[in-house]
């Protein structure tokens, strides 16, 4: 399994914490960084070297489909460009604001097929507007694009980045969440869904217990929340909930671990000696 990230230089420090967490908990065949041509990532390069993980930089060149988009929208589609991997294999794409807290061996053996070449986690709450507008099977079938597991060869037969960009340009009125909506629409009916512990979103955290989505009357999937949190593998610091922006009384164990890693990678060569999550909590 290869680890895949898509970003520009402005997100390198955030991605460095994410990358460290994944390399501490799982061995990957390689790391692939997808970014605009000409950008460099010295901190990520140093971390990959420290963990002895082969690194490949995939530049987004001038012929990429995303250049058809308005400039303000293009960065959101870096992750779509990352889905086009010419090397065969299994890839795990993760956003820069994710945190790995357990091994991912189960994802390494999860069956993927020509019918379902990509796996992702639902938002874990009903999203009827997305289902209605995008033609999804149910209100729970709208997946979050921050963690995507896919077989590159099988996925390539189903879509290209140009397909997703085309859908967005033709259906902009339907795509409230830009690339995520377009990808959900293009892949509808072809996704293997993952349990929430592989993409634990910010609304699922204990500090959000007053959120109506924690109430079974509003969200029947709320019964899964204790299991999702107890067995968390990938935490997604979504909705801007980065630990270094939160008040101290809002911090939970996952946040303290993120802060520990952030401090610990000031010297990238020492990163492999940092503790895994289970060694602290």
Q: 69 — phi, psi (to 5°)?
A: -90, 160
The hierarchical CATH code for the domain 2-279 is 3.90.550.10
At 250, list the tokens. Answer: 């809002």
Q: Where are the alpha helices (DSSP H) in 135-252?
A: 152-156, 161-170, 178-186, 225-230
* Whole-number pLDDT of residue 65: 97
Instruction: State residue 248's pLDDT score.
Output: 96
pLDDT digit string (tens) for 193-248? Answer: 999 999 999 999 999 999 999 999 999 999 999 999 999 999 999 999 999 999 99
The H or E element spanning position 92 is strand 90-94
pLDDT given for residue 272 in this prediction: 98
Q: What is the mean pLDDT of each run of 10 residues along the chain (281 residues)?
A: 98 98 98 97 98 98 96 97 97 98 98 98 98 98 98 97 98 98 98 98 97 97 97 96 96 98 97 98 90
Please count the CA atoms within 13 angstroms of the CA of 119 that sit on its side-chain side.
Answer: 20
Q: Measure the CA–CA gap between 274 and 272, rounded to whole angstroms.
A: 6
Predicted TM-score (pTM) of the model is 0.97
User: What is each CA distance from 130 to 125, 158, 185, 216, in whole angstroms?
Assistant: 12, 22, 9, 21
Read off the tokens for 192: 């293997």
How far from 170 is each of 3, 14, 50, 54, 63, CA to CA, in Å? 31, 33, 45, 39, 20
């Amino acid at each position: 399994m290869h680890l895949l990230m898509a970003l520009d230089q402005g997100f390198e420090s955030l991605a460095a914490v994410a990358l460290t967490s994944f390399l501490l908990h799982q061995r990957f065949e390689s790391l692939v960084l997808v970014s605009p041509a000409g950008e460099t990532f010295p901190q990520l390069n140093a971390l990959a070297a420290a963990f002895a993980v082969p690194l490949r930089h995939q530049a987004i060149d001038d012929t990429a489909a995303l250049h058809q988009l308005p400039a303000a929208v293009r960065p959101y589609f870096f992750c779509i460009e990352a889905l086009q991997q010419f090397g065969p294999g299994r890839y795990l794409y993760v956003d820069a604001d994710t945190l790995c807290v357990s091994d991912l061996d189960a994802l390494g053996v999860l069956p993927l097929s020509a019918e379902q070449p990509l796996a992702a986690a639902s938002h874990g709450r009903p999203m009827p507007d997305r289902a209605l507008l995008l033609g999804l099977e149910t209100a729970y079938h709208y997946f979050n694009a921050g963690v995507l597991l896919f077989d590159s060869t099988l996925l390539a037969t189903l879509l290209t980045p140009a397909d997703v960009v085309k859908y967005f340009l033709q259906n902009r009125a339907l795509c409230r969440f830009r690339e995520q909506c377009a990808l959900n629409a293009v892949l509808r009916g072809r996704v293997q869904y993952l349990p929430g512990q592989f993409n634990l979103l910010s609304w699922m955290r204990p500090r959000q217990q007053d959120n109506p989505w924690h109430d079974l009357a509003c969200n029947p999937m709320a019964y899964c929340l204790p299991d999702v949190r107890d067995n968390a593998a990938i935490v997604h610091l979504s909705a801007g909930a980065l630990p270094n922006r939160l008040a101290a009384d809002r911090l939970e164990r996952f946040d303290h671990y993120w802060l520990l890693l952030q401090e610990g990678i000031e010297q990238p060569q020492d990163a492999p000696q940092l503790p895994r999550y289970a060694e602290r909590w």
